[in-house]
Chain A
Amino acid sequence: MSMLEVENTIVDLPTPRGMLRAVDGVDLTLEAGKTLGVVGESGSGKTMLSRAILQLLPRRAKLSGAIRFDGQDMTRIPAETLRKLRAKSVAVVFQDPMTSLNPVLTIGTQLTETMREHLGVSQSEAISRGIALLAEVGIPSPEQRMGNYPHQLSGGMRQRVAIAIALSCAPKLLIADEPTTALDVTVQAQILDLLAREQRSRHMAMMLITHDLGVVAGRTDEVAVMYAGRVVERAPTRELFHHMRMPYTAALMAALPKLDAPPHTRLPAIGGRPPDPINPPPGCSFAPRCSYADAVCDKAKPPLSAPDRMAHQFACIRPLPVKVAA
């Protein structure tokens, strides 16, 4: 049994134009101590998937499928059990620390209230643990910072505080949803280092959600690529980067400007746009933009399967050929 098992999860959101399928039958597993990168562009469903795992979907969203954490189906447990589970076992770091932190409470209050509530520790114990956590996530003079409000900190420092709060109840799973997208590149490197260090030392499972293939390349064990609500390719990180099978993954990689290419090198852009999630095409969602697609691709959605290697799954009828090592 894996720590996290996501099974045939579907999220539907009602919109004025009709039902929008944000997540379309996702299967995923994550083991303790491992890092899974989830890569996708806006609208690919990666954030809705993480919200489904956390049971933090918008009220009107319809969820089906099973999401098991340590064998417990999160979609079926009572609200109070869920609240406890969410606090102590699963933690989350969001993209924008300015909106995830409460602007009118001090850093110290926000750090200690979670620990007091869920760990049952005394106020003084919570304070000393809070100071230790701030020091651990690299905040200088943590004692003084406890009395600061979020607006008194820089974006990078705020994200460090958000990480400290997420770690405060020693979660088994940390979901980091675009944790560095709002940050500058030098601060991004520091925050990614911090997350990697904490993940290792605490033997947590981590789900790192990002739009940036560069962020997952060096810092994950496995990568799942999402497109139009589905996981379209999933493999151990090195395997994925070296042997991309799904044309979308390869096209996304090719569209990145390369640092080793000379200036004015033309980028192989992906033509067109993702499909309308309210009226998705019957076949492969990427087929209309795919240079390998033929008539078969428009007939039915290809399932995520692993025809060659167990660990490498892709959802494609016309996959790229397996690269033979030279």
Chain B
Amino acid sequence: MTALLDIKDLVVEFPVGGRVVQAVTRVSLTVQRGETLGLVGESGCGKSTLGRAVLQLYQPKSGAVVFDGQDLTKLSPPLMRKMRQRLQMIFQDPIASLNPRRRVGDIVAEPLIIAGVTDADERLRRVRAVLTEVGLDPDITMARLPHEFSGGQCQRISIARALILEPELIVCDEPVSALDVSIRAQIVNLLEDMKDRYGLTLLFIAHDLAVVKAVSDRVAVMYLGRICEVAPTETLFRTPAHPYTRLLLDAIPMPDPDIRPVEGVAVGEPPSPIAPPSGCRFRTRCPRAAGRCAAEMPELVALPSGQMVACHFPLI
């Protein structure tokens, strides 16, 4: 396997009231071709910003986003526009991400028009094919407006729009968080089917660890703009190396009445990203924190177990 996506030392900053928030701080990650990399973390940790920065929706301050050998941060706008056909995105709110005034057939056809497919018959054929692929009946859906559909169906339409140009990489930003349990399972299954059918590579961003576990080959954990841990999915869930990963796992409410929730697993809340703690950013909530954690920012290093962890005192 070769890395389809190689994020190198990426920094994304936003100005906020005369100050600067570093939303993504020197993040390096690779995603292999055909792989699903899960990206988890709490709100404000920078996971969505990282996902958008991959697609150059935010201009990174420094670092590189190498996609299939080309650094996207260095591409000219026309070249990036062309490149976008190979990288797509699916958003959290399926209803808000569809233009309410356009018909579903037009919404799904739009990427084809941008990509320069001028033959209307060809466009119609491809729209019908992709709608069928995501489980919608083109005869019923194409002439309708988004508000006539439920959240789950709107997410199917968004997926159809993302797939129509047959991209290689899709960044999925919380694609099932807004959906009910029964619908969520349908969409997770659909994404898995589409990944096989189109040979996709996915960057799957979510806060729900159970959903991430269900779809990911590897998982990266993010906290306040930094990657804490990256590991093969099973390893990360079985033997987390970073205390923050452990905390996230312990905080999941388990649908099993025989597992009594342990009170007091979680303490505190993430500090403001405007003034992150010195050294390790998790140290203010970490039960293992010591003097070194305040002085020195831990770098991501490989453990013998195959996982990468940024911690001075890892759990394994």
Contacts and interface: CB of A to CB of B under 8 A. Distances in A.
Nearest to A242: B257
Interface string B138-157: 00000000000010100000
Contacts of A267: 185, 188-189, 214
Interface in A167-197: 184-190, 192-193, 196-197
A215 B185 CA distance: 18
Interface string B109-126: 000000000000000000
A186 B248 CA distance: 6
A256 B209 CA distance: 12
B275 to A, nearest CB: 14
A261 B251 contact: no
Contact of B214 (A193, A211, A212, A264): A264
Interface residues of A, number: 48
B75 interface: no
Given A196-B263, A263-B234, A189 B210 contact: no
Nearest to A252: B181
Contacts of A266: 189, 192
Contacts of A261: 213-214
A211 B264 CA distance: 23
Contacts of B213: 257, 259, 261, 263
Interface string B3-43: 00000000000000000000000000000000000000011
A268 interface: yes
A132 interface: no
Contacts of A187: 42, 266, 269
A265 interface: yes
9 contacts: A42-B180, A189-B250, A213-B255, A214-B252, A241-B256, A252-B181, A256-B185, A259-B237, A259-B254
B247 interface: yes
B231 to A, nearest CB: 12
Interface string B161-183: 00000000000000000001111
A197 B42 contact: no
A256 B258 CA distance: 17
A156 interface: yes
Interface in B217-247: 217, 233-234, 237, 247
Q: Which 8 A-B pairs have the closest CB atoms?
A: A214-B253, A269-B185, A257-B214, A270-B182, A255-B185, A267-B185, A184-B42, A41-B180
B268 to A, nearest CB: 8
B186 A269 contact: yes
B261 interface: yes
A256 B181 contact: yes
What band does the interface of chain B fall in when counting residues whose beta carbon is under 8 Å from A? Answer: 35 or more
A281 B182 CA distance: 20
Contacts of A268: 185
B315 interface: no
A241 B210 CA distance: 19
Nearest to B256: A217
Contacts of B180: 41-42, 211
A154 B269 contact: yes
A289 to B, nearest CB: 8
A269 B234 contact: no
Contacts of B87: none
B214 A186 contact: no
Nearest to A260: B237
Contact of A251 (B42, B182, B183): B182
A255 B184 contact: yes
A219 B262 CA distance: 11
Contacts of A219: 261
Interface in A108-123: none
B312 interface: no
B179 to A, nearest CB: 9
B247 to A, nearest CB: 6
A264 B253 contact: no
A157 interface: yes
Contacts of B234: 262-263
A253 B256 CA distance: 10
Nearest to B272: A154
A188 B210 contact: no
A216 B142 CA distance: 41
B192 to A, nearest CB: 6
A218 interface: yes
B265 interface: yes
B1 interface: no
Given A184-B42, A259-B213, 15 more contacts: A186-B42, A189-B253, A189-B261, A218-B261, A241-B257, A258-B210, A258-B214, A259-B254, A261-B214, A262-B234, A263-B233, A263-B234, A264-B192, A267-B214, A271-B186
Contacts of B264: 193
Given A197-B263, A257-B213, A273 B254 contact: no
A263 B214 contact: yes
Contact of B207 (A185, A214, A218): A185
A188 B253 CA distance: 9
A242 to B, nearest CB: 8
B243 to A, nearest CB: 12
A262 B183 CA distance: 21
Nearest to B285: A186
Contacts of B85: none
B158 interface: no
Contacts of B265: 189
A304 to B, nearest CB: 21
Contacts of A218: 253-254, 256-257, 259-261
Given A185-B42, A188-B253, A259-B210, A157 B182 contact: no
B253 A212 contact: yes
